[in-house]
Amino acid sequence: MIRAVLRMGDPRLLQVARPVTDFASPALRELLGDMRETMEHLDGAGLAAPQIGVDLRVVIFGFESNPRYPEAAPVPLTVLINPVIAPLTAEEEEGWEGCLSVPGLRGVVPRLKRVRYAGYDERGQAFAREVEGFHSRVVQHECDHLDGILYPMRMRDFRRFGFTDALQLGAVAEE
Ligand code: NI
């Protein structure tokens, strides 16, 4: 079922979410189905459970190609439960981000260039990956939602924050 996505300002987006303890529950199965359907319906690159009002440490992300991020390399469709992220470098990279909870806006956010993440898949199997680039950015963005952090809270330069349509007009004007 396609679920409504909470928008910035809703206090539920600022909570620290609870870990999943029962990987076999039908409720988790249903949640993952709803998250995937909602993400695909909205062309999202990822979605975190708190964004649909569910207080659990569950994120999904991934796409072959994404109209919201036309330049981004494909990221495998991933279910990540109870994630832990560790830096593989202190080096940061700046990039434009949007968020389904912050509709219509884009901003430049610094993120760690390379990270290792670990967690559990939808069957409760542990897995880990070392990633970089947009994959690294997406997993950091989604996991931030589990700690009540939205991307504007990570921004340092608010001159590079604006409405997507105005930013596009600006880019055309600069050419
Ligand atoms: Ni988001």
Per-residue pLDDT tens digits of the chain, which is 175 residues long? 999 999 999 999 999 999 999 999 999 999 999 999 999 999 999 999 999 999 999 999 999 999 988 889 999 999 999 999 999 999 999 999 999 999 999 999 999 999 999 999 999 999 999 999 999 999 999 999 999 999 999 999 999 999 999 998 766 555 4
Is the residue at 2 inside a domain? Answer: no
What domain range includes position 147? 11-174
Distance 76 CA to ligand 1 centre (A): 18
Strands (E), the chain: 46-48, 58-63, 75-87, 92-97, 105-112, 114-120, 126-132, 161-163
Is the residue at 163 inside a domain? Answer: yes
**What phi, psi does 113 have (nearest 5°)?**
-70, -40
Which residues are close to ligand 1, an ion, with C-beta < 5 A? 99
Is the residue at 3 inside a domain? Answer: no
Is the residue at 6 inside a domain? Answer: no
Is the residue at 165 inside a domain? Answer: yes
The overall pTM is greater than 0.85 = yes
Is the residue at 51 inside a domain? Answer: yes
Helix (H, G, I), strand (E, B) or coil at 10: coil
CATH of the domain at 110: 3.90.45.10
How many angstroms separate the CA atoms of 155 and 168, rounded? Answer: 20
Burial 77-114 (b: 16+ CB within 10 A, else e): ebbbbbbebeeeeeeebebbbbbbbbeebbbbbebbbb
Distance 171 CA to ligand 1 centre (A): 24
Check residue 122 and report its DSSP letter.
Answer: T
Is the residue at 169 inside a domain? Answer: yes
Is the residue at 73 inside a domain? Answer: yes
Catalytic residue among 37, 94, 142, 174: 142
Distance 94 CA to ligand 1 centre (A): 16
Number of domains composing the chain: 1
User: Is residue 175 flagged as an active site residue?
Assistant: no
What is the model's pLDDT at position 168? Answer: 82
